[in-house]
Structure 1
Amino acid sequence: MLSKKRIIALLFMLAMIATMIAGCGQKSNQQSNSATGSKDKQLRLVFVTPLIGHPVWLVAKEGFDDAAKKFGFQGDWVGPQGIDANAMIQQIENAIASKADGIITMALNPEAFQPVLEKAQKAGIPVVIVNSDAPNAPRLAYIGTDEKNLGTIGAKEIIKKLNGTPAKVITMQSTMDAKVANKMREAYEEELKKTPGTEILARESDNSDMMVAVQKFQNLLRTYPQANVIIGVAAEVGPAAAKVVEEMGLKDKVTIVAIDDMKETVDYIKSGVIYGTLTQNFYRMGYQAAQLLVENIKEGKKPAQQVIDSGTIFVTKDNLDTYKEQMKKW
């Protein structure tokens, strides 16, 4: 028969064993819950834009934000106020360091962006590039405008408008090393030069600054009074050209073809100072880039195409009321 002391000791040991078993069970449950939480955790996607407050890129933000609501991810919108490739690269570095689940960006300078995009790949972070590609860099997909198609469409509309009169052309873009703008401008020029007598009078840049563009057009239109066409391959160029053309009384002489659909551009189309604009589908870039990342991260799905044309529409007075709905269909 066990003594009272031995019974108490035995009961104490049993209690200790029960506590240890319970403790192990709780730890296991916590690990299980943690694993489930990791699997179902909210994704965080970072969009590194080249111009954080620019009206055109805010259209991409609208698409990105709509995708966040639809697919339930946290969307971070970051980037510099002015064109600055180094600042963008630093923001991508920050996204990698903070363990973002996916990154969307524009490869402003493909060669300069290559190392940081490779770093994202090594960290297991998928990247979708929009608007300006880095074809040699690792990326899940590229969504952007077919630059040659845009320039060709714009040039054909100019030729149609001039109705046999040779084009005397001034072009303007953000920077002279902007890859996308250069491809668009070259496509314009290639198509326009099929018409005898076409001259390219000047190629200028404005660093995405409306006031710089206005000042340059004031000088250019005095230097080249024969100019009858202005082509903008940066969003601010159309409104800047329109302001100067209107002030100088050249509305009926100079045909302005812009790019993108800033409010000022649309207003000048309504008043007839800008003939038309080539819209790039920034909404689609923001929305579809995010969708591709979510599907890839959650389902392992890869896009059917690695290069996706986001589409271009030539907008004039005739389709001002309908083009936006058209751009949301793809």
Structure 2
Amino acid sequence: MTRLRTGGVRAAVGAVLALALTGALAGCSSTGGKRAEDARKAAEAQGRAAVDTPRWTFAMVTHSGDGDTFWDIVQKGAKQAAAKDNINFLYAHSDEAQQQAQLIDSYVAKGVDGLIVTLAKPDAMKAAVEKAVKAGIPVITVNSGAEQSKAYGALTHIGQDETVAGEAVGEALDKRGKKKALCVLHEQGNVGHEQRCAGTKKTFDGELVNLYVDGTNMPDVKASIEAKLQSDKDVDAVVTL
């Protein structure tokens, strides 16, 4: 691959990385992903890449556990965007923070041209992200860790403010006259989930109770929520994904 590391060229790689990620997120919709897929298929039919740009390699490392359908969709969108923009796309994941950091290190060692990472457990990601930045690899954070992204040296963060999102949920519960809500956190230690539930608690006039479950084990999630609702008849709302 072409090694591109400093100055304006690094900024150019970062810009393409951001565009590719935007395409990945568009892949979650019925229109953006279809356009990327149509462009890829048309290019393949003609025996060429979708665009005539350098063949860069971008890698995405997420905190997804096995069987997490949300991240399956994101990965699919990223692949479509990569095909459209002539990008060699690599993907790896682990719900174990230390393993996720090791995956980032492995891509740095391979000399990828750009990295997309999640910071669900930012403290464990700090050294790995900073190592990538020091190596001159543009990094964009996504989904979680907005507060730490800039401090770690990432170009930008793409995602919502989970505290603000939670506050909106609390306000919505108040408008509906709810009195006691269950806030389901489907990954232990995920800062985004904690912020979302804390934001809900901040604006909700009623009582909010957190419930931790394993989001990759749906039968367990269902059983845990059902058990909580059966044991506490005062709960009249559930906040979850």
Q: TM-score by structure 1 length? A: 0.53
The amino acid across from 1:217 in the alignment is: I
**In structure 2, what is the equivalent of residue 152 of structure 1?**
167
The CA deviation at 1:128 is 0.5
CA distance in 2, matches of 1:228, 1:171: 11
Indicate the residue corresponding to 1:72 in structure 2: 86
Q: 1:181 aligns with which of 181, 185, 193?
A: 193
Q: Percent identity?
A: 21
Alignment partner of 1:59 out of 69, 73, 91: 73
2:48 corresponds to which residue?
none
Q: 1:90 aligns with which of 102, 107, 117?
A: 102
For residue 228 of structure 1, what is the aligned residue in structure 2? 236
Corresponding residue for residue 171 of structure 1: 183
> Aligned pair 1:212/2:225, yes or no?
no
**Unaligned runs of at least 5 residues, structure 1:** 1-33, 233-258, 260-330
Aligned residues between the structures: 188
What residue in structure 2 maps to residue 109 of structure 1?
A: 121
User: In structure 2, what is the Cα distance between the partners aligned to 1:148 and 1:112?
Assistant: 21
1:242-257 alignment, distance < 5 Å: none
Which residue is 2:21 aligned to? none
Q: Kindly indicate whether the alpha-carbon contact (under 8 Å) linking 1:176 and 1:204 is maintained by their aligned counterparts in 2.
A: no
2:29 alignment partner in structure 1: none
Kindly indicate whether the alpha-carbon contact (under 8 Å) linking 2:179 and 2:207 is maintained by their aligned counterparts in 1.
yes
Q: How many angstroms apart in 1 are the aligned matches of 2:181 and 2:154? A: 37
* Alignment partner, residue 55 of structure 2: 42
Question: CA 1:116–1:174 in structure 2 vs 1: closer, same or farther (change >3 Å)?
Answer: same
> Which aligned runs of 4 or more in structure 1 are off by greater than 4 angstroms?
37-41
Distance in 2 (CA, whole Å) between partners of 1:169 and 1:41 is 51
Q: Name the structure 2 match of 1:294.
A: none
Secondary structure of residue in 2 paired with 1:46: strand
Q: CA RMSD in A?
A: 2.2
Are the equivalent residues in 2 in contact too, given 1:47–1:105 (CA < 8 A)? yes
Amino acid paired to 1:74: N
- Provide Cα deviations, 1:237-290, integer angstroms capped at 9, x if missing partner: xxxxxxxxxxxxxxxxxxxxxx3xxxxxxxxxxxxxxxxxxxxxxxxxxxxxxx
Q: Output the TM-score relative to the length of structure 2.
A: 0.71
